[in-house]
Amino acid sequence: MKWLVGIVAVLLLCLAVYAGLAFVSALDLVSAVRSSDAAQVMARTDLPRVRHSLVDQVVSAYLDRLGQKRPVRPLERMAISAIGTTIANDLAIKLMTPENLSALLKSGTVRDGAENITFGTMSSLAEFDISNIFVFAGRITLVKPVEFALRLGDSQDAGRVSMHLDGTTWKLSGIGLPPKVLANMVDRLPTR
């Protein structure tokens, strides 16, 4: 019986450390965004994962626009990656500059800084009430054991961010853009 209590206590302690690390990492990211510290935001971001999440969203929205409402299969994904720098990848790279990413998370404005094009807005991470742990916990969706998504608001146009466990810290690994923003981005792409 003592072994069972000990095992349960250790599991609860591990769960508390796991959740605590997620909360502290999210708090650090929000703090860096609020202070407009692009270097700290970039240090707390896994750029390849964020870029990949944006490319996936743009490609899926583009296929929807073309009338091919289906998920992108792994072989298609691999073909898109093998082609090299595609239009969606170029767009994601422009969105992922330190200044654009910092501005996106702080103001919620999705823009292409190189051409000064604004695609739309979403809820900002800087305005997220991280001090209330119950609001924070209520907006979390566990994607995988090492990744969670955080809804930035209640509406569909609020958007979300994803964080991935990287060693002992959680890093920004994805930005879920609202459908209106994705539609505006895809409208600027060629139809064929």
Question: How high is the mean pLDDT of the chain?
Answer: 81
Residue 175's DSSP bridge partners are 161
Query: 81 pLDDT exceeds 60?
Result: no
pLDDT at 124 exceeding the cut of 90: no
DSSP 45: B
Residue 115 pLDDT grade (very low, low, confident, very high; cuts 50, 70, 90) = low
Range with the poorest average pLDDT among 46-50, 109-113, 156-160 = 109-113
* pLDDT in the model for residue 162: 93
Q: Which tens digit of pLDDT belongs to each residue from 178-190? A: 989 888 887 876 6
- What is the pLDDT averaged over residues 123-147? 84
d(CA 119, CA 188): 9
Q: Tell me the pLDDT tens digit for each residue of 17-53.
A: 888 888 888 888 888 899 888 888 899 999 889 988 8
Provide the strand spans (E) within the chain.
Answer: 109-112, 117-121, 140-144, 147-151, 160-166, 169-176
Label residue 135 by pLDDT band (50, 70, 90): confident
What are the φ and ψ backbone dihedral angles of 52, each rounded to 5 degrees? -60, -40
Spell out the domain ranges in the chain.
2-187
Helix (H, G, I), strand (E, B) or coil at 136: helix
